[in-house]
């Protein structure tokens, strides 16, 4: 008897919230689209998600791409990331290749506090050779905590003859990796005797990972770097050394 009552109670607890969560998808979609048009970047993201619920192939449509362009310009980081897609099919590639369309999008996104968009704008100006503007955008991205922004800032500083040491260190220490490999920046910072950079570099060789990307796995090199980091005063490296 008690077991049956417990089973009934469990059914009611699990079933009632599910009923309460029902809503008309199309009605909710129109609500999010209206808020998106009014400048709510989060509503744009919700609308895109609802499109996917209605049609799993909607991400391949021009409507989806245009929505991500708009959402990125509003500062939605996730939409800006879409334009760095590396896999095929890639419906975002035409926009990414069209600087006349891509650059204004990411500049607007940066103004609306997308760290990804700031890095993208910095990278565009770096390729154009406009180092002052590249540095400004990279600095904004870096100071907001995106390690790719710090890496691009280091590139600009190294190119212009400025001291890139702080940027090397920030790029290496950053815990929000993107698409740029950090090993070269950690190598440089470690050479400049930054202990944490040496340990971070050792971790890369020990795990065979550079952020989201694979890299060489070299245990002997990792051991050497842990030892160097320990010698430079990093206690965590001392625990891993040997």
Tens-of-pLDDT digits for all 242 residues of the chain? 554 444 445 444 444 444 445 568 889 999 999 999 999 999 999 999 999 989 999 999 999 999 999 999 999 999 999 999 999 999 999 999 999 999 999 999 999 999 999 999 999 999 999 999 999 999 999 999 999 999 999 999 999 999 999 999 999 998 676 778 999 999 999 999 999 999 999 999 999 998 778 888 999 999 999 999 999 999 999 988 65
Q: Rounded to an integer, what distance in angstroms lies between the CA atom of residue 131 and that of residue 15?
A: 59
- The helix/strand/coil state of 214 is strand
Range of the structural domain that residue 48 is part of: 43-145
Handedness of CA 176, 180, 183, 185 (dihedral sign): negative
pTM: 0.85
User: Is residue 227, in this structure, part of any structural domain at all?
Assistant: no
Residue 74, exposed/middle/buried by CB under 10 A (0-12, 13-18, 19+)? buried
Residue 145 DSSP SS3:
coil
Integer CA distances (angstroms), 208 to 132, 167, 199, in order = 35, 23, 14
**Quick check: is 182 in a domain?**
no
Asked if residue 141 is part of any domain, the answer here is yes
Number of domains in the chain: 1
Q: Does residue 3 fall inside a structural domain?
A: no
């Amino acid at each position: 008897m008690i077991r049956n009552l417990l089973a009934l109670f469990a059914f009611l607890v699990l079933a009632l919230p599910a009923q309460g969560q029902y809503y008309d998808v199309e009605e909710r979609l129109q609500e999010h689209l209206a808020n998106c048009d009014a400048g709510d970047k989060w509503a744009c993201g919700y609308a895109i998600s609802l499109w996917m619920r209605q049609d799993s192939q909607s991400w391949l449509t021009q409507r989806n791409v245009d929505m991500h362009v708009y959402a990125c310009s509003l500062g939605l980081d996730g939409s800006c990331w879409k334009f760095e897609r590396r896999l095929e099919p890639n419906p975002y590639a035409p926009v990414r290749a069209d600087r006349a369309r891509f650059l204004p999008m990411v500049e607007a996104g940066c103004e609306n506090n997308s760290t990804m968009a700031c890095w993208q704008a910095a990278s565009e100006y770096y390729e154009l050779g406009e180092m002052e503007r590249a540095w400004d955008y990279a600095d904004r991205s870096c100071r907001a905590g995106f390690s790719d922004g710090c890496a691009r800032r280091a590139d600009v500083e190294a190119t212009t003859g400025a001291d890139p040491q702080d940027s090397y260190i920030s790029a290496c220490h950053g815990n929000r990796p993107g698409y740029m490999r950090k090993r070269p920046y950690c190598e440089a910072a470690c050479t400049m005797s930054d202990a944490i950079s040496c340990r971070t570099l050792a971790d890369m060789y020990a795990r065979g990972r550079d952020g989201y990307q694979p890299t060489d796995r070299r245990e002997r090199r990792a051991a050497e770097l842990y030892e160097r980091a320990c010698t430079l005063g990093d206690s965590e490296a001392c625990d891993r050394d040997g």
